[in-house]
Amino acid sequence: MSDAAPVPPEVVYRWDLDKTYLATDFSTARGLLQAAVESAQRRRTIPGMRALLSALWHGRDARLVVVSGSPTWLRRRILTMFSLHGIRCDRLVLKDFGGAVRKGRFRSISSQVPYKLRAHLDTRLWLAARHEDVAEICFGDDAEVDALIYCLYADVCARRVDAARLARILDLSGAYPDEIATILERVGQVQVHDPVRRVFIHLEGGSPPARFGAYRGRVTPTFNALQIALHLATEGLADDRVLSAVAEELVREHGVGAEGLAGTIEDALRRGLCAIALAQSVVVDLLPRTAAFDAGFSPAFAARVSHRLPDAAVPPLSQGEPLTLPYETLFEAEKAFAKARKLALQTAGKIPGLAEFLGETER
């Protein structure tokens, strides 16, 4: 055994699970039951996400940290699923619903901010203990408050949010006093450093992209895995291999056609997620050489799409110096959005077509 210190990884991927990686449906009793009993083999992933995570994980020396609101008794099944996907999950944090019920802490069951923030800080400390103080790329979705939690995590690590304010925010989000004390203690142990390089929010719950404008450019809303891959490739954090893998999965396993791929790339370009040179190269050189060709992405189709790309291009988004966020206001806004959404979903059954519009049925 060597005495040399472990080599730090190049990057840490921090993922949420449900509605970010897994296509879980919590809006119906059937969906909930399915999530509880489904085997690791049968778990459905969000189109393209399996290929994305696998290609990212295999491409560089990376660590995978998963913090999920799923119950602890799903641990073995989730780890088996990742192993079936050829990915090693370095840290998996799940919610202890049983413990919360036993202690009579019913607020903990529904509140996400204290639970996830503490889990992120704990895993950060675990990484630091292994000299792995490296950059992190975070992945969440719009169904919960992932955007707020990831930004708060970054601000807390960088001490852009002081202890008094953090305590107020946690109190607002329904944390118990001892939870607040534990989180503040963890913050004191974390090295002052902003590890978060990018936060991706997968728009699974039917939010408009403009909803995340309030996060002042610190959050990147994406419609699918290909848009994440395009943005990472624009920032030099992914290569053609990742892009091809995602496109292949979308085409082969989810029946996405040439129009769908082109629409995704054009949208990424219009929203500043992707550089024009990269979009041109993906359209002209890459996709016609993948399974996309069989789905109609012929060189002729690529030429037509490529011809129109310059009209869609806007300068790519740059993260710049992070601005602190009005978390108290954001939290209230997120709560109001979730309430409106819940109300709309309850009404959805009574209004034909509303459920589909809200994206709560299979497309």
Which residues here bind other proteins, judged by CB under 8 A?
A: 203, 206-210, 223-224, 227, 256-257, 259-264, 266-268, 270-271, 296, 304, 308, 311-312, 353, 356-359, 363
Q: Of 176, 199, 154, which is closest to residue 107 (Cα–Cα)?
A: 176
In whole angstroms, give the CA distance from residue 129 to residue 352. Answer: 54
In whole angstroms, give the CA distance from residue 292 to residue 258. Answer: 6
3-state SS class at 25: coil
Closest to other proteins by CB, 286 or 354: 354
Work out how close the CB of 139 gets to other proteins at its nearest, in angstroms, rounded to a whole number.
19
Any residues with CB less than 8 A from the CB of 116 and at least 6 apart, and which? Answer: 67, 69, 146, 149
Work out how close the CB of 314 gets to other proteins at its nearest, in angstroms, rounded to a whole number.
8
Work out how close the CB of 58 gets to other proteins at its nearest, in angstroms, rounded to a whole number.
26
Work out how close the CB of 251 gets to other proteins at its nearest, in angstroms, rounded to a whole number.
12
Structure tokens at 159: 């001490």
Work out how close the CB of 348 gets to other proteins at its nearest, in angstroms, rounded to a whole number.
13
Work out how close the CB of 264 gets to other proteins at its nearest, in angstroms, rounded to a whole number.
5
Closest to other proteins by CB, 44 or 304: 304
In whole angstroms, give the CA distance from residue 8 to residue 205. Answer: 36
Work out how close the CB of 47 gets to other proteins at its nearest, in angstroms, rounded to a whole number.
9
Could you tell me which residues are beta bridge partners of residue 204?
A: none
Instruction: Give the type of residue at 263.
Output: G
Closest to other proteins by CB, 52 or 268: 268
Work out how close the CB of 352 gets to other proteins at its nearest, in angstroms, rounded to a whole number.
12
Closest to other proteins by CB, 311 or 321: 311
Closest to other proteins by CB, 9 or 140: 140
In whole angstroms, give the CA distance from residue 307 to residue 317. Answer: 23
Closest to other proteins by CB, 217 or 257: 257
* Residue 180 vs residues 114, 177, 299: alpha-carbon distances, Å: 8, 5, 58
Any residues with CB less than 8 A from the CB of 315 and at least 6 apart, and which? Answer: 272
In whole angstroms, give the CA distance from residue 13 to residue 136. Answer: 6
Sign of CA dihedral 94, 170, 195, 230: positive
Closest to other proteins by CB, 188 or 353: 353
Could you tell me which residues are beta bridge partners of residue 136?
A: 12, 196
3-state SS class at 13: strand
Q: Of 141, 138, 132, which is closest to residue 152 (Cα–Cα)?
A: 138
